[in-house]
Structure 1
């Protein structure tokens, strides 16, 4: 039998397939527990990072929509915010898919929104050149609003 520790270092795919076999056969004593725990932990971290990244972009674009769109659309009649809308639509779809594929992330949605909000404000501020104080100190958007395809904030 191949040493699973060595296999983990040299052929991750074979290591994973071997673990599937061992788990199906209920041969738990043969599992490479340390690496298995590391991989399972990383899977969860990766999903949480993806959720945070997508929410950051989504919130930043909704902030831009609320605080800069009215200014730009007044100055330039042809400005319709289409690229912002497309980004908002795309990020909402990706967050919805992620939450459907990893439903355990739903319980972290509020916490994740709060955690990424300062970075979303920073991004929106840099992209719009509006001072950070323009935006609320705390995120006023709920998880339901963030994921609602029909929700676009009104002007401030």
Structure 2
């Protein structure tokens, strides 16, 4: 184990700073390649996890909007879905920011929506008390709808 590799386990900040210095100096042979690769891989995974989390919340709220909004607004005159709308707006904004800052995530969007939808159904079911079977087995919204700030599904009666 090299001195730089040991530093990775003892002082991450110093390790990162030293690797940056080596990169700037063009001293590629002295880099801690193994741990650098691990860190780069983790960064990508972390960005995808954040996208998936944002999509899960967005999808769950769109499902609640479609499948429970009418019921709640009929039951409580004052219910207008304002908090759901706020959450939908925030999640869309955060997703747009993430895709703008990391355009490579766009190529993972379809697969990430599929993964997030499973968790979104469970979340929507837990939050509404509706059976998970009540929701479609596959995501009923396409990517354009998910990212469209004007899109809200028609509430079901």
Following TM superposition, by how much is the alpha carbon of 1:140 offset from its aligned partner in structure 2, in angstroms?
1.2
Q: How many correspondences in the alignment?
A: 155
- Alpha-carbon distance in structure 1 between the residues aligned to 2:132 and 2:154: 19
Deviations 1:41-70 (A, max 9, x none): 100010011111110011000000010001
Say whether residues 1:36 and 2:36 are aligned partners. Answer: yes
Task: Tell me the TM-score normalised to structure 1 length.
Answer: 0.96
- Matched with 2:57 is 57
> What residue in structure 2 maps to residue 24 of structure 1?
24
Q: Which runs of 5+ in 2 are unaligned?
A: none
Structure-2 residue corresponding to 1:6: 6
Is 1:146 matched up with 2:132? no
1:11 deviation in Å?
A: 1.3
Instruction: Give the Cα–Cα distance (whole angstroms) in 2 for the partners of residues 10 and 133 of structure 1.
Output: 50
Q: CA deviation at 1:40?
A: 0.4
Q: Which runs of 4+ in 1 moved over 6 A?
A: none
Which residue of 2 is the match for residue 84 of structure 1? 84
Provide the aligned C-alpha RMSD in A. 1.1
Q: Which residue of 2 aligns with 1:136?
A: 136
Q: Could you tell me which runs of 5 or more consecutive residues in structure 1 were left unpaired when the two chains were aligned.
A: none
The equivalent of 2:72 in structure 1 is 72
SS at the partner of 1:68? helix
